[in-house]
Structure 1
Amino acid sequence: MSGERILDGFLEEQPRRSHRSHRSLAKIVREAYPIGVPAMIMKSSTDRLGTSAGYSFHLGTPDEILRRVASWLITEAGDDQRTLWKLIPFLWKRHGREDVALSALLLANLDHERGGIDPWVVLASSINSREPAEALLLSIEEALRGGHDVPSDKLLKSWCDGRLVESHLALISAFAAINAGREIGSDVINLLVMVKVPDGDSLLGRIRDRVAARIP
């Protein structure tokens, strides 16, 4: 039996009441992540990529499995997505690699207009004080693929004045916006090129250099 069919069977067994609690859903998705992942691959991914990348775990769950889980969550939520909006920061706090990826999918695909919610504000308030650049980039790219507008210049400026991790979020968001052909104000770029990048973080360093190249 394929991993997808096993996953579908597992999800179908979950009680309907679990969708009223973000903690219950967090437990369910944690149990779903390893389905279809060979044990040796899962252990290798956890050992090599978990702690070193700043994640609490990394099981190697394929993207198609995570998308299937996200689809199930959204479908079962129906018109009331409040529990899923609570799930997003909870997943960031638990901070498995799969948690971060699943939260990115939810953030990109939940109906933010119905809830009167700005997904970028949710993302900024959910991230921890230290985050891998890859984790931030994952959420930003997924949100843009989901059709969301890039963060406003005003929001980018506020992130530059906030926590260090928020300035990194601003830097990566601006980089993604530029790659998408969007204009970023010169005053914002002047702030972004001053963002402190951790020593040895080549990804953030390259991104800052690319953003700096936009200065006239």
Structure 2
Amino acid sequence: MSSERILDEFLGEQPKRLHKSHRNLAKIVREAYPIGVPAMIMKSSTDRLGNSAGYSFHLGTPDEILRRVASWLITEAGEEQRVLWKLIPLLWKRHGREDVALSALLLANLDSERAGLDPWVVLASSINSTEPAEALLLSIEEVFRAGHERPSDELLKSWCNGRLVESHLALISAFAAINSDREIGGDVVSQLVMVKVPDGDSLLGRIRDRVASAIP
């Protein structure tokens, strides 16, 4: 039986009342992550890519499985997505690699207009005091992929003046925007190139250099 079939059966067995609690949903998706992941691969991924990459766990769940879980959550929620908006920060708090990826899918595909929420504000309020650049990039790219506008110049500036992790969020968001041919104000870029990057973080360093190249 395929992993998708096993996952669909597992999710189909869950009671409808489950969707009234973001905490219960967090428990169920954690049970769903390992479906279809061979035990040896899962253990290897957890050992090599968990704590060393800044995650509490990394099971190696394929992207298509995570997208299937996200689709199930959104479909079952229907028009009442309040619980899923509450699930996003909870997933960031638990901070598994799969949690971060699933939260990115939810953030990008929930109806933010109907909820009266800005996905960028939700993202900034959900992240922890320190985050691997890859975790931030996951959400940023997914939100852009879903067709959302980039963060406003005002929001980028506020992030630059906020927590260090928010300044990194601003830097990576601007990088992704520039790469997708979205313009960033020159005054914002001037602030972004002053963002402090941890010693030895070559990814953030390269991103800052790329953003700096956008200065006229």
Q: TM-score, structure 2 length as denominator? A: 1.00
Q: Which residue of 2 aligns with 1:3?
A: 3
Structure-to-structure mapping, 1:192-207, within 5 angstroms? 192-207=192-207
Q: Which residue of 2 aligns with 1:105?
A: 105
Give deviations 1:76-131, integer Å, cap 9, x for gaps. 00000000000000000000000000000000000001100100000000000000
Q: Which residue of 2 aligns with 1:58?
A: 58
Shift of 1:212: 0.6
Aligned residues: 216
Unaligned 5+ segments in structure 1 are: none
- Provide the secondary structure at the position in 1 that maps to 2:53: coil
- Provide the secondary structure at the position in 2 that maps to 1:194: coil
Q: Which residue of 2 aligns with 1:127?
A: 127
RMSD over aligned Cα atoms: 0.4
Identity, in percent, stands at 86
Q: Which residue of 2 aligns with 1:163?
A: 163
Structure-to-structure mapping, 1:1-216, within 5 angstroms? 1-216=1-216
- Provide the secondary structure at the position in 2 that maps to 1:173: helix
Tell me the distance in 1 between the aligned counterparts of 2:161 and 2:148. Answer: 23
Tell me the distance in 2 between the aligned counterparts of 1:138 and 1:49. Answer: 16
Tell me the distance in 1 between the aligned counterparts of 2:182 and 2:30. Answer: 37
Unaligned 5+ segments in structure 2 are: none
Runs (4+) off by over 3 Å = none
Shift of 1:215: 1.3
Partner AA of 2:171 in structure 1: L
Shift of 1:214: 1.2
Q: TM-score, structure 1 length as denominator? A: 1.00
Tell me the distance in 1 between the aligned counterparts of 2:182 and 2:40. Answer: 43
Partner AA of 1:18 in structure 2: L
- Provide the secondary structure at the position in 2 that maps to 1:25: helix
